[in-house]
Amino acid sequence: MDSLMSYFSSLNPLNLLNSMPGAIAQGIIWGIMALGVYITFRILDVADLSVDGTFATGGAVTVMLRLAGMPIWSCLLIAVLAGVIAGVITGFLHTKLGIPAILAGILTQLGLYSINLSIMDMSANKSFNYGETGLYVTLGKIPQSIIVAAIFAAAIVILLYWYFGTEQGSALRATGSNHSMSSAQGINISTMKVIGLALSNGIVALSGGLFAQYQGNADVNMGRGAIVIGLAAVIIGEVLGMAFLGKRLNFVGKLVFVIVGGIVYYIVLSIVLWLKLDSNFLKLFSAIIVAIFLAIPYLKSQSKNSFKKAKKKGEKQDA
C-alpha cells in the first residue's frame, strides 16, 4: 500500500502538462503520415507496408540535401518526389508483376533500407549541422513547430479534398470501392493503383522529412512501426469522427479527424510515459491502443445488434 501511494505521489501533473505541446507537434507530423496511409488503406483498399521505408527515405533525403546546402523547401520537395518514386515501384511490382500488394510493399520496404543507408553515406544516422536555424519544425521551438505542422496538414487536406473531387480522383475512389464496376466503366485499375500508391508514399515521405527536422536527425530505423502509428491515427480518427459528427462526417471531416487521431495517439503515449511504465514495452502499448480502437466499432455494432434482437424478442413475447 505504501509503495502504491509512493508511486502516485511521484506523478507530477505539471510534467504531463509540459509534455502536451510536444505530443501535439509530433501528433500532427505523424497525422500527415497517416493521411498517406488513409489513401491506401481506406480509399484504395490496398495494404501498403512500404511506408516504413518511405518515411525514413523522406527523412534521409531531407537531411542529406540540407547538409549539401540546399534550401529546406527544396529538400522537402525532393523528399516527396523520392516517396512518389517508391510508391510507383510498389505499384509496378503489384500491377505489372502480379505480386500481392502486401508483399510488394514489404519488398519495397526491404529495398529502401539499403537505399536509405546509401543516401546517408552508409551511415545509420545523420544529423543536421549544429545550430541549424533554417528548419521549419524543431524540438527547440515547439509552438512554432505546431503552427507550421498544422499549416502543412491543412494544406494537404485542402489539396486532397480538391484532388479527390476531380475526374481522376473520383476514378481512384471508385477503384477502391469496386474494382469490377470501375473496370467496366473504362477505368484503368492498374494505373489508378499506381497513382494512389505514389500519392500516398509522397505524403509519407513529406512527413518523414518534417519529423527528421523535428528530432534533428534522420535514422535508418526511424520509420519502423510507422504503418502501426498510421493505422492507429486512421482508426482513432474514424472512431472520434463518428462519435462527434455521426452521419454528418463527410470526406474532408474524415481527413481532418485522421490528423486528430495522430494527436490523440501521441497524447495517449505521453500519458503512458508519464505513468512511468517501462518504455521497452512502448510498441506493445501501441499495439494495444490500436487493438482497442479497432475493436470499438465492432463491439458497438454488436451491442446494437444485441439490443435489436432483444427488442424483437420482447415484441414477439408481447404479441
217, containing H or E segment? strand 217-219
Instruction: Identify any residues that bridge with 126 across adjacent strands, giving them in sequence order.
Output: 218
Measured CA to CA, the distance from residue 56 to residue 256 in angstroms comes to: 24
60, containing H or E segment? helix 51-67
Measured CA to CA, the distance from residue 18 to residue 22 in angstroms comes to: 8
pLDDT digits (tens, 9 = 90+) for 263-309: 999 998 888 888 887 777 777 877 787 788 778 777 877 877 665 66
pTM of the entire predicted model: 0.91
The distance in angstroms from the start CA to the end CA of the chain is: 57
Higher per-residue pLDDT: 169 or 316: 169
Measured CA to CA, the distance from residue 244 to residue 238 in angstroms comes to: 10
Mean pLDDT for the stretch of residues 221-243: 90
pLDDT value for 297: 74
pLDDT digits (tens, 9 = 90+) for 17-41: 999 999 999 999 999 999 999 999 9
pLDDT digits (tens, 9 = 90+) for 70-127: 999 999 999 999 999 999 999 999 999 999 999 999 999 999 999 999 999 999 999 9
Instruction: Identify any residues that bridge with 118 across adjacent strands, giving them in sequence order.
Output: none
Give 134's contacts (C-beta < 8 A, 6+ positions apart). 66, 71, 72
Q: Kindly report the average pLDDT of the chain as a whole number.
A: 90
Give 285's contacts (C-beta < 8 A, 6+ positions apart). 269, 272, 277
The CA radius of gyration of the chain, in Å to the nearest whole number, is 22
Measured CA to CA, the distance from residue 139 to residue 211 in angstroms comes to: 10
Share of the chain above pLDDT 90, in %: 66
pLDDT value for 316: 58
